[in-house]
């Protein structure tokens, strides 16, 4: 079977954070709602479509959002609630579909290839959407097409509260008139570069020879050219809860230096959180492991709201260490694991860092990307 014969559904919650808040408080319906930083130094994590009409968008400083939309209602937000509803939606879909990928906290891909012989994929997708609306109470949109890229673009065009199918013969006519900004993965710098070349519509991008795209943008240029031509061979990857990253340290000599071990945990978490943000991932579970001198290994785990924020993860790791270290014996190993990973990055604003702190994280990540993960360390780690 060719990839072009596939039936891929992309389901995306409409303004997910805002929708959850409206479900909790119906008085917010139809109003310009902003989720995230409550102070002028905060950062917008998400906003309602009513607020977007005034130019408000994610990652914008809260003070700018207030200037653009003075009558906006600011809500602090709760990642715990958003994680809970996200898990409910995932569980509902897993029970009904043959192959599910959880792409982020609020979007899923479903591979329905071959199922159209039993019932129409469009009809099935509509029933899925109505199940989420009825059982969870949250609005959701979907796009159905031949691959993940096109399906995602279809969803984005029919939101909010929409549904649409683009069949194989219709793909290019659907894509051609769209702005190149609509292509998933096309960033601001690439958009500026292509715009300066006069490439603003997908149709124009499809006319550029592949070798020229490679010369201009390297491998990313070839990927963009393929997406512009409706080509995407990436499979729907089954959602697995155990997907994780972790680090551990075995000491040269057994130790009872508790303060030192917490510093080691801090350093490991800092590196893991940077890795999460680099991969645009969030974690919903943290596990701390210790091994005593007698080789007894003990772990302590906690479910947490989706995050990639160092300070929150460091705090939880230290709490778990205090819970797991009970025997006051010498230790030979300490480790930490972050699991239940999903794609995402904007939610960092929900934990209340100021705009200054938000910018600091971004600046530190840029330095680490350029000079290595050890280019910047916390002072407590350096002292040790």
Write down the residue that tokens 């240029």 correspond to: 221
Of residues 155, 135, 139, 138, the one with CA closest to residue 147: 155
The answer to whether the Cα torsion of 190, 192, 195, 201 is positive or negative is positive
140 has which bridge partners?
Answer: 13
Active site residue: 107, 163, 346, 355, which one?
Answer: 107
CA distances to 201, 279, 326 from 177, in Å = 6, 31, 64
Q: Give yes or no for a cis peptide into 283 (omega within 30° of 0).
A: no
Q: Are 68 and 58 in contact (CB under 8 A)?
A: no
Q: Annotated catalytic, 127?
A: no
286 has which bridge partners?
Answer: 302, 338
User: Where do the DSSP E strands lie in the chain?
Assistant: 8-13, 33-36, 44-47, 73-75, 100-104, 107-111, 140-145, 163-165, 244-255, 281-292, 297-307, 331-339, 342-343
**Cβ-proximal residues to 383 (8 Å cutoff; 6+ apart), any chain:** none
Mapping DSSP to helix (H, G, I), strand (E, B) and coil, where does residue 377 land?
A: coil
Q: Are 269 and 336 in contact (CB under 8 A)?
A: yes
Q: Pairing state of beta strands 331-339 and 73-75?
A: unpaired
Catalytic residue ranges: 107
């Amino acid at each position: 079977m060719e990839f072009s014969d596939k039936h891929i559904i992309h389901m995306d919650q409409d303004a997910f954070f805002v929708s959850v808040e409206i479900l909790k408080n119906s008085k917010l319906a139809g109003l310009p709602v902003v989720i995230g930083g409550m102070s002028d130094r905060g950062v917008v994590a998400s906003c309602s479509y009513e607020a977007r009409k005034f130019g408000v968008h994610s990652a914008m400083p809260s003070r700018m959002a207030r200037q653009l939309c003075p009558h906006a209602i600011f809500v602090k937000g709760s990642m715990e609630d958003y994680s809970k509803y996200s898990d409910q939606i995932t569980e509902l879909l897993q029970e009904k579909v043959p192959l599910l990928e959880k792409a982020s906290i609020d979007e899923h891909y479903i591979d329905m290839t071959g199922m159209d012989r039993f019932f129409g994929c469009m009809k099935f997708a509509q029933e899925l959407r109505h199940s989420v609306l009825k059982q969870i109470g949250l609005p959701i949109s979907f796009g159905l097409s031949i691959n993940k890229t096109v399906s995602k673009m279809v969803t984005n065009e029919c939101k909010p509260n929409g549904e649409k199918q683009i069949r194989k013969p219709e793909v290019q006519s659907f894509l051609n008139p769209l702005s190149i900004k609509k292509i998933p993965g096309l960033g601001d710098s690439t958009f500026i570069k292509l715009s300066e070349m006069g490439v603003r519509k997908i149709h124009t991008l499809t006319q550029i020879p592949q070798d020229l795209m490679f010369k201009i943008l390297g491998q990313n240029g070839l990927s963009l050219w393929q997406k512009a031509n409706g080509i995407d061979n990436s499979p729907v990857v089954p959602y697995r809860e155990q997907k994780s990253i972790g680090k551990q340290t075995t000491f040269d000599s057994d130790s009872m230096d508790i303060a030192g071990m917490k510093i080691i945990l801090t350093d490991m978490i800092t590196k893991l959180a940077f890795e999460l943000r680099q991969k645009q991932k969030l974690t919903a579970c943290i596990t701390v492991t210790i091994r005593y001198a007698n080789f007894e290994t003990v772990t302590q785990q906690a479910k947490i709201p989706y995050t990639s924020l160092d300070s929150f993860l460091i705090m939880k790791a230290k709490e778990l260490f205090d819970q797991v270290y009970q025997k006051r014996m010498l230790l030979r190993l300490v480790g930490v694991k972050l699991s239940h990973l999903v794609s995402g990055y904007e939610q960092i604003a929900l934990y209340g860092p100021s705009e200054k702190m938000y910018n600091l994280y971004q600046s530190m990540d840029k330095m680490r990307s350029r000079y290595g993960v050890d280019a910047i360390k916390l002072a407590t780690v350096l002292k040790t």
